[in-house]
Chains A and B, each alone.
Chain A
């Protein structure tokens, strides 16, 4: 079957804007998008720049946008893409600067991974009760939730909607890596806490909007967003409860426990608290909402059966170890 690959081309050294080029190609059964790109490079246009190595979804080099979604070209079937989208459009990963064509500059990606200190800390000497760095991890003694399966391909970072508008955000890959060390039994409690103190700062765990894009696109089922949620929970459990994000979670849970339902009239006060500047930021919208009949009664009675809701919360509190 003959079909068209539409490829985004861009050489920032000689061009102002990217453009698309079409390549006609004879494709056979079982062909991957990477197979197609290599053939185009070898047979039609040697100047096409792309990055790849293992061709087996192990090295993570060939992540790119295929029909608008972040994928490894080496494990994306041409036939399935065609069935799903009716076309093959290939572009470089988003949220990273293009070096040429499909090759992006991963420097900011690596900088952020380095920023979370992706190795075990050496603080065990000061805490002799901690297991040593050379201990063997026994099955069941740790739970990394598959974050150690990450191949650092950058798909999640390219798909991240928060990072798209806030370039400083650590992003899903680095935070998933951080979660791996916060859950490592060889890491001391003090060092875990120190990690969480860093991670809850600006550009950290509370900047995630939980859009699930990283979970959807990850080729290795790492579920970075869920790792971020585990980090948030760990931060709360470590008593790091004063940030806006932390107050959102604790305030939300308190309102649901008390009333059974979220009350948007009370929620802003839980988060903003008595910070006057921030209160003044929320207030004008509150007044507009009030005039439009969009502010619920802050003193609305709880839902019927509220006793059951409250007993769910207290049962969870009595439970010996949270899962």
Chain B
């Protein structure tokens, strides 16, 4: 049975991290996931719009949920921040007495209403719980063996745990499970659940890059060859600002950062160019050299590119 979702790509995947969108579209078919993209959906507010006006943020998300509801589909997010913000908004809209009615009155003039029947799920959760690690493992063509991979969860996919309800925020396991399923070895380090600093990186850069730098240094000291994250905002902080983050912790980090679907795509033997890895500021050559060699060997073994 195909798993079908309303894809909510979020702003970053359609903006500064287009490789996240590209790699997502490249892998989902192999996992048996079908999507209908919510092309008319707005920004989730990222926790920022709510600082100006919580009702606007709720109404924007209720509008998105109503679009998915009309399709009869649950929402799939590919951004940790979107997941946290939309998951919390959805929970409030479903459970707080009178709230959905009040927010629907804002949507009413445009003929929209949210009935509260949609669930919001991150790709990571869908892979672990609905696709299943076995099916993921069956799709692996290029094992990630010998790679020490540092999981970096970011904040919004973990906390507050009562709004998310997937991983244990003190001891999350979903990224580790996925890393093992593709043959890699997860790096254990405390920074995996900490903050990348992105929300204040434009106005308080020194604080933000010190946070990102400390977490990447810890991962690197723990033996990480590269890092994987389910959040494109973390990716921006860890990749785009990595030079400055390294300076903040007096280390030449040179730590490639992969989006979750890029890791899955490389393991599935999808050509790197189809995963947008050339768009990163920190080169991922050290990974690609190994995976391409393995991919060629696999292809030889099968008598053609598989």
Hey, which bits of chain A sit against chain B, CB under 8 A? 67-69, 84-85, 161-162, 164-166, 169, 206-213, 215-216, 229, 232-233, 236, 243-245, 247-250, 252-253, 256, 260-265, 267-268, 271-272, 281-282, 285, 288-289, 292-296, 303-305, 307-309, 311-313, 315-316, 319, 322-323
- Total contacts A-B at CB 8 Å: 190
Q: Which of B25-33, B48-56, B295-303 contacts A (4 or more CB under 8 A)?
A: B48-56
Given contacts A229-B50, A304-B39, contact A295 B197 (CB under 8 A): no
Besides A296-B16, A308-B63, 17 other A-B contacts (C-beta < 8 A): A161-B194, A162-B207, A210-B155, A211-B155, A211-B159, A216-B169, A229-B50, A233-B52, A245-B203, A253-B49, A256-B42, A260-B42, A261-B43, A288-B281, A293-B279, A294-B17, A304-B40
B15 near A296 (CB under 8 angstroms)? yes
- Supposing A210-B199, A216-B161, A292-B278 touch, asked if A309 and B63 sit within 8 A by C-beta, the answer is yes
- Complex interface: chain B residues within 8 A of A323 (CB): 54-55
Is B156 close to A, CB under 8 A? yes
Residues of chain A within 8 A (CB-CB) of B279 are: 292-294
For A268, the closest partner residue in chain B by CB is: B202
CB-defined contacts of B211 to chain A, threshold 8 Å: 161-162, 164-165, 209
Is the CB–CB distance between B205 and A248 below 8 Å? no
Q: Is the CB of B106 within 8 A of A210?
A: no
Q: Are B190 and A252 in contact (CB under 8 A)?
A: no
Q: Does B171 contact A (CB under 8 A)?
A: yes
For B162, give the chain A residue with the smallest CB separation.
A216
CB contact under 8 A between A253 and B48, given known A207-B200, A312-B60: yes
CB contacts (< 8 Å) of B109 on chain A: these are: 311, 315
Residue B35, interface by CB 8 Å: no
Are the CB atoms of B110 and A307 closer together than 8 Å?
Answer: yes
Contact B204 A165 (CB under 8 A): no
| B293 sits at the interface (CB 8 A) | no
B53 touches A316 (CB 8 A): yes
Tell me what chain A mostly uses at the interface: helix, strand, loop, or mixed: helix
Tell whether, in the assembled complex, residue B50 and residue A256 are in contact, meaning their CB atoms are under 8 Å apart. Answer: no
Per the CB 8 Å criterion, the residue count for chain B at the interface is: 66
* B residues 1-15 touching A (CB-CB < 8 Å): 11-12, 14-15
B281 / chain A contacts, CB cutoff of 8 Å: 288-289, 292, 294
For B63, give the chain A residue with the smallest CB separation. Answer: A308
- The answer to whether B49 touches A256 (Cβ under 8 A) is yes
B36 at the interface (CB under 8 A from A): no
Are the CB atoms of A216 and B160 closer together than 8 Å? yes
Q: Which residues of B contact A293 (CB under 8 A)?
A: 18, 279
What is the distance, in angstroms, from A68's C-beta to the closest C-beta of chain B? 6
Closest Cβ–Cβ distance, residue B81 to chain A (whole Å): 10
| B113 contacts partner chain A, Cβ-Cβ < 8 Å | no
- Given A212-B155, A294-B279, A296-B16, A262:B171 Cβ within 8 A: no
Complexed CA–CA distance, A322 and B51 (Å): 12
- Bound CA span A208–B56, Å: 22
Q: A261-B14, A264-B16, A292-B278 are in contact. Are A69 and B202 (CB under 8 A)?
A: no
Known interface pairs A162-B211, A209-B195, A309-B60. Does A252 touch B203 (Cβ–Cβ under 8 Å)? Answer: no
Cβ–Cβ contact B12 & A249, under 8 A: no
Question: Contacts A289-B281, A292-B281 hold; do A260 and B16 have CB atoms under 8 A apart?
Answer: no
B45 within 8 A of A: yes
Nearest chain B residue, comparing its CB with the CB of A67: B170
